[in-house]
Structure 1
Amino acid sequence: MWEDIQAAIPLGFILSFMIGPVFFVLLETSAIKGFRAALVFDLGVIVADILFITIAYFSSYQLLENLSNQPGLYVFGGVILLVYGITIFFKHGSRNSSKIPIKSKRSDYLGLIVKGFLLNFINIGVLVFWLGVIIIVGPSLDNEPSRIRVFFTTMILSYFITDLFKILLAKQLKRKLTGTRIRLIKKGIGIILIVCGIVLIIKGFLPNDRFNIESRIENISY
C-alpha cells in the first residue's frame, strides 16, 4: 500500500500544475478574492474530478475509444470556454470594472463551487485523462478496489495540498493589486480561456487524432 501512495503523490503534484483554464482561474480567484474564495472554487474542481474518476472506474477502454469518435463533445466544451472567455474579456475590459472587488461573501461561495465544478466538468479532456490513468494504473494495482481507492485518494489529496500552496502564494499578490492590474489580469484570464476553447474546438475537428494520454501517463508514473 505504501508503494501505491508513493506512486500517487507525484501524479497529484503534476496534475496540480497542468496548465489549463482551471489553473489560471484558481490563481486569479486567490489573488483577487482571497484564500477562502479560492479554496471553495478548488473544492468545486475536485468534486468534478471525483465524479470523473468514478465514471472512469466504472467504464472501460471502450468508453475511451467511443470518446475519441465523438468530436462533438470537444466542440461543445470548447464553445462554452470560448464564450465564457469572451464574456470575461469584454466584461472586465472597461475602466469602470477596474475597481478592487470587495471580499467574497458567504452567499458567493455556492457560486464559486459551481463555477469550479463546471469549468472542470465541461472539459471532456479531463475525463479522458482519468480514463487513461485508470487504464494504465489499474493493472499495476491488480485492479483491486481497495488499492485503487487508496491510490486515487492519495492522488487527489496531493493535488489539493499542492493547490493550497498555490493559493497562498497567489494571495500574496493581493497587496500589490491595483484597479488597472486587476483589469489586466481578468483580460488575461479571458484570453487564456479563449485560447483553451479554440484548442478544444480544433481538437473536435480532428477526430483522427487519437488520444496519446496513455503514453504520457506512462512517462510520468511507472
Structure 2
Amino acid sequence: MLLAIFSGIIVGLVLSLLTGPTFFSLLKISISRGFKSGVYFSAGVFLSDVIYIVLAVVFSLLIGFEEQYRQIIYIIGGTFLVGIGSYYIFKKVKISNEPTKALKNTAYFFKGFLMCMLNPMMLFYWITISTKFTESYTHPELLGFLAATSLTILSSDIGKSYFVSKYRSYINTRHIMWLNKTAGVVIVGYAVFRLLIPVILKHV
C-alpha cells in the first residue's frame, strides 16, 4: 500500500505541472481575487477529479479481466498521452493578468468543477492511468494510488494559489514555458516506456 501511495504522489506531482485552462484560471483568480478564492476553485477541480476517478475505476475493473481490451486501452491511451505531452512541449505560453470578474467564493468552486467536468478528455485520461495500475495493484492499493494522486494535485493547486497570490510579480512566461516542457517530457516518457513499448514487446 505504501508503494501505491508513493507512486500516486509522484504521478500527482507530474500532473500538477500541467498548465491547461484550469491552471491559467487558477492563476488569474489567485492574482485578482486572492488565495481564498483560489482554494475554492481548486476544491471544485478536486471534486471533478474524484468523480472521474470513480468512473475510471469502475470502467477499468469491469474490463480488467480481458487482456486484449487492456492492451487496446494502452495503445489508445499511450498515443493520447504522447499527443498531450507533445502539445505541452511545443505550446506557446501567454499569461494574461487581466482581472477576473468578481464572484462569490462558492461560484469559483462551481467554476472549477464545471471547467473539468465539461472536459471529457479528463475521463479518458483517468481511465488510461487507472487501467494501467489495475494489473499492478490490488483494489485497495489502486484506490490508495488514485486517492494519493488526486490529493497531491489538490495540495499542489492550493500551494500554487498561495504562491501566485504572494509572488505574482515574479511569475513570467518563461517560468510557465519550462513547466510545460518538463511536464510534457515526463508524460511522453511515461506513455512510451510504460504503455506503448510493453504492448509492442508482447507482439514481437
Normalising by structure 1, report the TM-score.
Answer: 0.58
**1:18 is paired with a residue of what secondary structure?**
coil
| Structure 2 unaligned regions, length at least 5 | 64-68, 77-95, 170-187, 196-204
- How far has the Cα of 1:22 moved from its partner? 0.4
- Whether the 8 Å contact between 2:34 and 2:165 is mirrored in structure 1 is yes
Evaluate the alpha carbon distance shift between residue 113 and residue 101 of structure 1 in structure 2; reply closer, same or farther with a 3 A threshold: closer
Identity across the alignment (%):
23
Alignment of 1:23 with 2:12, yes or no, is no
Distance 1:7 1:101 in 2: 36
Are the structure 2 counterparts of residues 27 and 145 from structure 1 closer, same or farther at C-alpha, using a change threshold of 3 Å? Answer: same
Residue by residue over 1:90-134, the C-alpha shift from the partner in whole angstroms, topping out at 9 and shown as x without a partner, is: xx9xxxxx7x779x67xx122111100111111111111100011
Q: 1:101 to 1:47 in 2, by over 3 A?
A: closer
Runs of 4+ in 1 over 4 A off after TM superposition: none
Pair 117,217 (structure 1): closer, same or farther in 2 beyond 3 Å: farther
Question: Aligned-pair distance for 1:213?
Answer: 11
Measured after TM superposition, the shift of residue 214 of structure 1 is 8.0
2:191 corresponds, among 215, 219, 222, to 215
Residue 35 of structure 1, CA deviation:
0.6
Q: What is the aligned counterpart of 1:131 among 124, 127, 130? A: 127
**Which structure is larger by alpha-carbon Rg, 1 or 2?**
1
Question: Which residue is equivalent to 2:34?
Answer: 34
Deviation, structure 1 residue 216 = 5.7
Aligned length: 149
The separation in 2 between residues aligned to 1:26 and 1:114, in whole angstroms, is: 13
Residue 165 of structure 2 is matched in structure 1 by: 171
Distance 2:23 2:193 in 1: 19
Alignment-derived partner of residue 158 in structure 1: 152
In 2, Cα distance between the equivalents of 1:131 and 1:112?
27
Q: Residue 142 of structure 2: which of 144, 148, 168 is its match?
A: 148
Judge conservation of contact 2:28–2:100 (CA < 8 Å) in 1: no
Would you say the 8 A contact 1:56–1:131 is kept in 2? yes
CA displacement at 1:173 relative to structure 2: 4.4
* SS class of match (1:123): coil
The residue identity in structure 2 corresponding to 1:163 is: D
Which residue of 2 is the match for residue 198 of structure 1?
A: none
- Relative to structure 1, the CA distance from residue 135 to residue 214 in structure 2 (aligned partners, 3 Å threshold; closer, same or farther) is farther
CA-CA distance at 1:218 after TM superposition? 2.6
Q: Which runs of 5+ in 1 are unaligned?
A: 69-91, 93-97, 177-211
AA of the residue aligned to 1:26: L
What is the RMSD computed on CA atoms of the aligned residues? Answer: 3.2
Contact map agreement 2:29 2:38 (CA 8 A) in 1:
yes
TM-score of the pair, normalised by structure 2: 0.63
Q: Which amino acid counterpart does residue 105 of structure 2 have in structure 1? A: Y
